[in-house]
Amino acid sequence: MAAKPNAIVAQSGGPTTVINASACGVIQEAMKSGKIGKVIGATNGILGVLKEDLFNISAEKPETIAGLKSSPAAAIGSCRYKLKKMEESKADFQRVVDVFKAHNIRYFFYAGGNDSMDTADKVNKLAAEAHYDLVCMGIPKTVDNDLACTDHCPGYPSVAKFVAVSAMEAGRDTEALCTTDTCTILEVMGRNAGWIALAAGLAQREPQDAPHLIWIPEKPKSRKQMMNEVKAVYKEFGRVFIVVGEGMTDEKGNVVAEDKSALSTDAFGHAQRGGVGEILKTWIMEDVGIKARAQKPGTNQRAAMHFASATDIKEAYLCGKMAVKNALKGVNGKMVTLVREKGRQYKCTTGLAKLSDVANGEKMVPASFINKQGNHITKAMRDYLSPLIQGQARILMGDDGLPQFMRFKRKPLKTKLPKYL
């Protein structure tokens, strides 16, 4: 009797709070199916496949695997390695298929953004050309919420929830100290799209609540325009709370954080330290004459498991599970999508989209989600986002008062191929 086929699960790109929940869905479903031999982890995404750096997840303790649901970042390991066009990276693609063959891997589950879906799609096509039976399934992942074909991306709801509570809490701090520390700027992720910055808008239930202004790359503004908005808020409330996306652009379409006139370089010609928040802080002190401070949660926003959305975790898990279920039914070359059912009560099921459609698409923030002034959200955005951030993640706490996150033992598979160069 031939050995059962094996499956690889891999994670790619910037981690999120719930990409491990997706991995958990894949692993648990694959293990219980009885149709898959080993579930294998590829350390650091496609890099792990190329380097044949693989480990046996099936040999991990069940509680370690279950712990994925409440552990942030990417426990299998992620990477930013991008396979280029097929013509330029033919050797890499071929190597991937060779590694799959060497380890009898017939299923490839890849969680990532549109670059990862592109990779999965190309690997799939190359395998087909080589007449190697392979099923490639994508699992959506990105805090940026910009994947096409899905209502929303697992990972986005949790970053949204953390950014909103951060604006709410720091907003109260600014309110309390407004006689001196009058303006606070919260710089959040989002190089090309304002999805994350806009999420902070949920924190504002009445006009005096933070954030008062949200600035996003989709709505470029000149320094003068921005400062006029600050002055107007300051006049009304005596304090100003701004959320800005890191990729905020000026009226010429230039990224503010790279504005050379606003920046200086150091003795070595290195670009100025700090991002848009620090630049805005200087502008506000100079042009408005009030004290401002800039803060930047950085990777903490996409790793905040301690305040993750239970809805997000549930849906991320579901995406992983459905990828396996569909793969075992013969579906191939698809990414699992989240489908919002019609009706007043939020209900979410899954669907399927072609990997190539996801790879070549991008979901922009709908115009109806941004207010007329281009500096806050509308009710439509609230209605879209609010159901996604419901529920508190349950995390296991240690005796020391802090969360317990899992970590794999990583029992390596023996390599069977020459070293990858």
Q: Which two tokens stand for residue 329?
A: 């039914």
User: Measured between alpha carbons, how far is 119 from 110 in angstroms, rounded to an integer?
Assistant: 9
176 binds a copy of itself (CB under 8 A): yes
- State which of residues 31, 177, 227, 255 lies at the interface with a copy of itself (CB under 8 A): 177
Q: Which stretch binds a copy of itself (CB under 8 A): 167-175, 214-222, 242-250, 322-330?
A: 167-175
- State which of residues 173, 250, 259, 357 lies at the interface with a copy of itself (CB under 8 A): 173
Nearer to a copy of itself (CB atom), residue 186 or residue 355: 186
400 binds a copy of itself (CB under 8 A): yes
How many residues would you count in the chain?
421
For 420, residues 6+ apart whose C-beta sits below 8 A from its C-beta are: 50, 51, 52, 95
Largest CA distance in the chain: 79
From the list 152, 105, 128, 88, the residue with the least C-alpha distance to 7 is 105
174 binds a copy of itself (CB under 8 A): yes
Q: Long-range pairs for 227-231 at CB < 8 Å and ≥24 separation?
A: 227/283, 227/284, 227/287, 227/288, 229/373, 229/375, 230/183, 230/284, 230/287, 230/288, 231/288
Nearer to a copy of itself (CB atom), residue 37 or residue 247: 247
From the list 240, 231, 159, the residue with the least C-alpha distance to 202 is 159
Catalytic residue among 92, 144, 146, 312: 144
Return the residues of window 325-384 that contact a copy of itself according to CB under 8 A: 382
- State which of residues 10, 42, 65, 168 lies at the interface with a copy of itself (CB under 8 A): 168
251 binds a copy of itself (CB under 8 A): no
- Please report the DSSP string for 343-368 in residue order: SSS--EEEEEEEHHHHHT---PPPGG
Return the residues of window 180-219 that contact a copy of itself according to CB under 8 A: 180-181, 184, 186, 202-203, 205
Return the residues of window 74-103 that contact a copy of itself according to CB under 8 A: 74-75, 77-81
262 binds a copy of itself (CB under 8 A): yes
Least distance in Å: CB of 60 to a copy of itself?
Answer: 17
295 binds a copy of itself (CB under 8 A): yes
Q: Which stretch binds a copy of itself (CB under 8 A): 113-121, 271-279, 364-372, 409-417?
A: 271-279
- State which of residues 7, 18, 30, 47 lies at the interface with a copy of itself (CB under 8 A): 47
In angstroms and rounded to an integer, the radius of gyration of the C-alpha atoms of the chain is 23
154 binds a copy of itself (CB under 8 A): no
Nearer to a copy of itself (CB atom), residue 202 or residue 352: 202
Catalytic residue status for 115: no
From the list 85, 108, 88, 110, the residue with the least C-alpha distance to 97 is 108
- State which of residues 64, 340, 405, 413 lies at the interface with a copy of itself (CB under 8 A): 405
For 69, residues 6+ apart whose C-beta sits below 8 A from its C-beta are: 20, 21, 24, 313, 317
Enzyme catalytic residues: 144
